[in-house]
Amino acid sequence: MVQILIPQPPPHAINDCMLARPLSAQPTLHLRPTLPLEWLRPHPLLRTMPLDEEHVVAFVPSLSHVAVLNQAALALLQRLPLDHAETLSSVAGSLHALAAMGLLVSSAKPRIPEPAASPVLSAWLHMTNACNLRCSYCYIQKTTARMKTATAYGAIDALVDAALRHGYREVAIKYAGGEPLMALDTVAEAQSYAQARCRAAGLGLQATLLTNGTMLNPVRVARLRELGLGLTISLDGLALSHDAQRPDLRGAGSAAAVRAGIENACAAGLTPTVAITVTGANIGAAPELVAWLLERGLPFTVSFARSQACSRERSALMAEEQQLIEGMRAMYATVAANPPRWSVLGTLLDRADLSYAHGGACAAGKDYMVIDHEGRIAACQMVLDQPVADLTHPDPLSAIREDRQLPLGVPVNEKAGCRECDWRYWCGGGCPIATLRATGRTDVKSPYCNIYTALFPDLLRLEGLRLLRQARPASGEDA
Ligand code: SF4
Ligand code: SF4
């Protein structure tokens, strides 16, 4: 019997840079209106990787959904295109499903579609420079400065006006800092105002608070719930590996306080996404952290620290590359042992997302505005000190897109090294800021390219194993 397994919808995980998915995005595949069965044939770029004796994971890099097929499904694929005389009504549904996933096409030379424009305009509101931690990779110069209420309202107005002017259907706000819980009253005012303005303008609204988690007591968690905010908490290890790179003001570790904050959020029914930043220093402890998160059913994202790939010796970079590749593989093995309910394709390899085609690794330079506590507007939170406009500008989004000093929105198919890459619409070409720091340019491939290309097959295999485990939860097959 033909068996086809496809991923469940991904979690609504968000970290500092992830592309916001539309609220209206359909979580399941819908079958296309039927193409004549005899037109269908395997996509010429179709690849398969064995999972076990009976199953393979099947995909077309950058272009298809990922599916697990059994041998009967694979044999069906290999019989295509069908002869006119063949009557295969029993597998018509399977064939149409495979076509809907992009694994089958109706032409020997299918057109490679450009990724669709995003319907979501995202904004990072930098609520404060203040923070109670001193993380080693932080880019904020700490002060006590906070956003005033009038500036917060002006920022929301600028965002909503930009969304309407440029034809977006939704806005996605990240309240960040510094530590935004140190400006919670202003976050609350901004969020209430954003809800009212979006409602009046007919725009969808997603909003998330990005926090270090140490101040998440039950009272604050309850307030975040009332405000309808999602929650993303940074945690880089369960103990020492986190503490070494995220100490508090006195130099003491913060992991215990973050874990308490996560427990408080969970106890109140506010499931956080945990954002893990890995470096050569903490990658060895990542499997332990991931096991802890999986036991609790918490979604998480894994990113590489962006200051890593700068001006070091090539040999040092290669050693760290290898360390990260091996560490990530160990982490994937941990995930395979206790896989989550949701797809892992979009959250476990830095800025890459293998669950859908997209034209860049993030929204910076295209569909993104960063507004600081004084109303200055920049293309990315990493370049807050290089604003291109302020709240008096009539069209700040155009100013960001047209900025030639810092062109962050170069599409992946215009980056040298990425243009011909099979993975380009799943990878997006990596963080433009990391690329800029490593190479002085944003129109070339990511400094993490070797890591990505080494790990894409591992991640696809992991997703295949996860789908198999999900389909046979009681069988106890070896993952
Ligand atoms: S960064 Fe590397 S893997 Fe990613 S699209 Fe560019 S060439 Fe491909
Ligand atoms: S440019 Fe880099 S740091 Fe900025 S939003 Fe994009 S991925 Fe994140």
477 is a domain residue: no
Average per-residue pLDDT for the chain: 90
> How much of the chain, in percent, has pLDDT values that exceed 70?
91
Q: Which residue has the tokens 């959904």?
A: 65
Closest atom of ligand 1 to CA, residue 423: 8
Q: What is the sign of the dihedral through the CA atoms of 20, 25, 27 and 29?
A: negative
Whether residue 148 sits in one domain with residue 97: no
**What residues make up the domain containing 42?**
4-114+459-471
Residue 79 maps to a domain: yes
Count the helix, strand and coil residues of the chain and give each as a percent rounded to the nearest 5.
35, 15, 50
Atom number, ligand 1, closest to the C-alpha of residue 428: 5
In a domain, 448, yes or no: yes
Ligand 2, from 120, 369, 382: best to mutate by most atoms within 8 Å of Cβ? 382
Which of 250, 227, 243 shows the shortest CA–CA distance to 281?
A: 243
Q: Which ligand is nearest to the CA of 457?
A: 1
Q: Which amino acid is at 91?
A: V
Based on the structure, what is the number of domains in the chain? 2
User: Residue 181 pLDDT more than 90?
Assistant: yes
CA–CA gap between residue 89 and residue 38 (Å, rounded): 12
Which is more confident, 478 or 203? 203
The pLDDT of residue 479: 34
One domain for residues 453 and 344: yes
Question: Which residue's alpha carbon is at the smallest distance from atom 6 of ligand 1?
Answer: 418
Pairing status of strand 41-42 against strand 4-5: unpaired
The answer to whether position 479 is within a domain reads no
* 430: helix, strand or coil: coil
Contact 139, 101 (CB under 8 A): no
CB distance 123 to ligand 2 below 6 Å: no
Q: Which atom of ligand 2 is nearest to the CA of 17?
A: 8
Percent of the chain with pLDDT over 90: 70
Q: 232: which strand partners? A: 210, 273
pLDDT of residue 439 exceeding 80: yes
Q: Whose CA is nearest to atom 2 of ligand 1?
A: 449
> Which of 91-105, 216-230, 318-332 ranks highest by mean pLDDT?
216-230
Q: Which atom of ligand 2 is nearest to the CA of 351?
A: 7
**Pocket of ligand 1, beta carbon within 6 A:** 412, 417-418, 421, 423-424, 427, 429-430, 445-446, 449, 452-453
Q: What are phi and psi of 56, to 5 degrees?
A: -130, 155
Query: Which residue type sits at 274?
Result: V
Kindly state whether residues 132 and 157 are assigned to the same domain: yes
Residues 139 and 188 in one domain: yes
What ligand is nearest to the CA atom of residue 423?
1
For residue range 282-315, list pLDDT tens digits in order: 999 999 999 999 999 999 999 998 754 444 566 6
Ligand nearest to the CA of 413: 1
Confidence band of 478 (pLDDT split at 50, 70, 90):
very low
Same domain, 49 and 179: no
**How far apart (Å, rounded) are the C-alpha atoms in residues 232 and 253?**
20
Q: In terms of domains, do 75 and 217 share one? A: no
Identify which ligand lies nearest to the alpha carbon of 446: 1
In a domain, residue 476? The reply is no
Give 341 Cα–ligand 2 centroid separation in angstroms: 28
The answer on pLDDT for 87 being more than 80 is no
Query: Is the Cβ–Cβ distance between 451 and 321 less than 8 Å?
Result: yes
Residue 129 tokens, joined: 């420079």
Q: Is the CB of 237 under 6 A from ligand 2?
A: no
pTM for the full model? 0.91
d(CA 44, CA 79): 14
Ligand 2 site, residue 305, Cβ cutoff 6 A: no
**How many angstroms does the Cα of residue 77 sit away from the middle of ligand 2?**
40
- 431 alpha carbon – ligand 2 mean position (Å): 5
Give the single-character DSSP code of 123: E
**In the predicted structure, residue 337 carries a pLDDT above the cut 80:** yes
Q: Distance (Å, rounded) from C-alpha 205 to C-alpha 282? A: 35
Q: For residue 451, give the ligand nearest its CA.
A: 1
DSSP strands (E only) in 269-331? 273-278, 300-304
* 103 and 178 part of one domain: no
Structure tokens at 442: 């944003």
Binding site membership of 408 for ligand 2 (Cβ less than 6 Å): yes
Judge whether 165 lies within some domain: yes
Expressed in angstroms and rounded, the spacing between residue 306 Cα and the centre of ligand 2 is 9
Residue 425 CA to ligand 2 centre (angstroms): 17
**CA-proximal residue: ligand 1, atom 7 (nearest):** 418
Taking residues 268-285, report their average pLDDT: 93
DSSP 335: H
How many Å lie between the centroid of ligand 1 and the Cα of residue 315? Answer: 21
Q: Are 133 and 109 in a shared domain?
A: no
Mutation pick for ligand 1 pocket among 412, 415, 424 (CB with most ligand atoms within 8 Å): 424
160 and 273 together in one domain: yes
**Residue 435 maps to which CATH number?**
3.20.20.70
Q: Measured between alpha carbons, how far is 193 from 173 in angstroms, rounded to an integer?
A: 12
Judgement on whether residues 208 and 97 belong to the same structural domain of the protein? no
- Nearest ligand to the CA atom of 417: 1
| Residue 150 falls inside a structural domain | yes
Residue 43: what pLDDT? 93
Q: Is the CB of 259 under 6 A from ligand 2?
A: no
More confident residue, 306 or 391: 391
Write out the DSSP string of 216-272: --HHHHHHHHHTT-EEEEE---SSHHHHHHS-BTTS---HHHHHHHHHHHHHTT--P
Which numbered atom of ligand 2 lies nearest the CA of 124?
A: 5
pLDDT confidence tier of residue 86, bands split at 50, 70 and 90 = low
Q: Whose CA is nearest to atom 8 of ligand 2?
A: 17
Cα separation values, 153 from 42, 117, 159, 278, Å: 53, 28, 10, 35
Q: Tell me: pLDDT of 379 over 90.
A: yes
Q: Which of 174, 303, 431 should be mutated for ligand 2, with most atoms under 8 A from CB?
A: 431
Which numbered atom of ligand 1 lies nearest the CA of 415? 6
Ligand 2: which atom is nearest the Cα of residue 380? 4
Look at strands 273-278 and 300-304 and give their pairing. Answer: parallel
Do 194 and 324 sit in the same domain of this protein?
A: yes
Same structural domain for residues 188 and 285? Answer: yes
